[in-house]
Amino acid sequence: MSIPAEPALPAPARVTSGTNGSEHAAVELAGVTKRFGKITALDAVSLFVRRGELMTLLGPSGCGKTTLLHLVAGFLIPEGGEIAIEGQRITDVPAYRREIGVMFQNYALFPHMSVARNVGYGLRMRRMARPEMDRRIADALALVKLAGLEDRRPRQLSGGQQQRVALARSLVIRPKVLLLDEPFSALDRNLRASMQVELKEIQRKLGVTTIFVTHDQSEALSLSDRIAVIADGRIRQLDTPHEVYRHPSDRFVASFIGDANVLRARLERIEGAVASVALGAARVTVPMRTLAGSAVGSAVDLFVRPEDLQVAEPDAAAAAHGTVAAQIYQGGHIDLYVDVPEVSSGRVLLRVPSHEAASLRPPGTRIGIALAADVAIAFRAA
Amino acid sequence: MPKLLRLLGGATVTAILAFLLLPAGVVTLAAFNSRAILSFPPEVWSWRWFIKAIAYEDFQAGVRNGLIVTAWASSIALAVGAAFAFALDRYEFRLKRTLETILLSPLVVPHFTIGLGFLILAAQLGFARGYSVIVACHVVLVLPFVLRSVYISLRNLDPRLELAAASLGASPGRVLITVTLPLLLPGLVSGWLFAAILSFNEFTASLFVTVQRTQTLPVALYNYVREYADPSMAAISVMYIVATATVLTLANTFLGLAKVLNVEHSR
Q: In this predicted model, what pLDDT tens digit does every residue of A217-261 receive, in sequence order?
A: 888 998 999 999 999 999 999 999 999 998 999 889 998 988 889
CA B234 to chain centre: 20
Whether residues A73 and B168 touch (CB distance < 8 A) is answered with no
* Mean pLDDT computed over A342-349: 87
Strand duo A80-85 + A54-58: pairing: unpaired
- Exposure string of A1-37, with b = 16+ CB inside 10 Å and e = fewer, is eebbbeeebebbebbeeeeeeeebbbbbbbbbbbeee
Set of chain A residues whose Cβ sits within 8 Å of the Cβ of B167 = 73-75, 95-96, 98, 100-102, 170, 179
* Gap from A30 CA to chain B (nearest CA, Å): 22
Whether residue B156 has pLDDT greater than 80: yes
- What is the Cα–Cα distance from B144 to B105, expressed in whole angstroms? 7
Question: Residues 195..254 of B with a Cβ closer than 8 Å to A: which?
Answer: none
* Gap from B95 CA to chain A (nearest CA, Å): 18
pLDDT per residue over B76-106, tens digit each?
999 999 999 988 888 888 888 888 887 766 6
Whether residues A112 and B168 touch (CB distance < 8 A) is answered with no
Q: Of all residues in chain A, what percent are helix, strand and coil, respectively (each to 5)?
A: 25, 35, 40
Q: For residues A42 and A32, is the Cβ–Cβ distance under 8 A?
A: yes
pLDDT of residue A273: 87
Whether residue A359 has pLDDT greater than 80: no
Whether residue A33 has pLDDT greater than 90: yes
Whether the link from the prior residue into B186 is cis, omega within 30° of 0, is no
Whether residues A108 and B158 touch (CB distance < 8 A) is answered with yes
Whether residue A1 has pLDDT greater than 50: no
Which one has a higher pLDDT value, A49 or A346? A49
Q: Does the interface ipTM go beyond 0.90? A: no
- Chain A residues at the B interface, defined by Cβ less than 8 Å, are 73-75, 94-102, 104, 106, 108, 110-112, 121-122, 125-126, 169-170, 173, 179
pLDDT of residue B39: 66
Proportion of chain B above pLDDT 70, given as a percent = 91
The model carries a pTM of 0.79
* Mean pLDDT computed over B129-152: 89
Set of chain B residues whose Cβ sits within 8 Å of the Cβ of A170 = 167-168
Listed in sequence order, the DSSP H helices in chain B are 2-31, 48-55, 57-90, 96-104, 111-125, 131-156, 159-167, 172-175, 181-201, 204-209, 217-227, 232-255, 257-260
* Gap from A123 CA to chain B (nearest CA, Å): 8
Q: For residues B217 and B59, is the Cβ–Cβ distance under 8 A?
A: yes
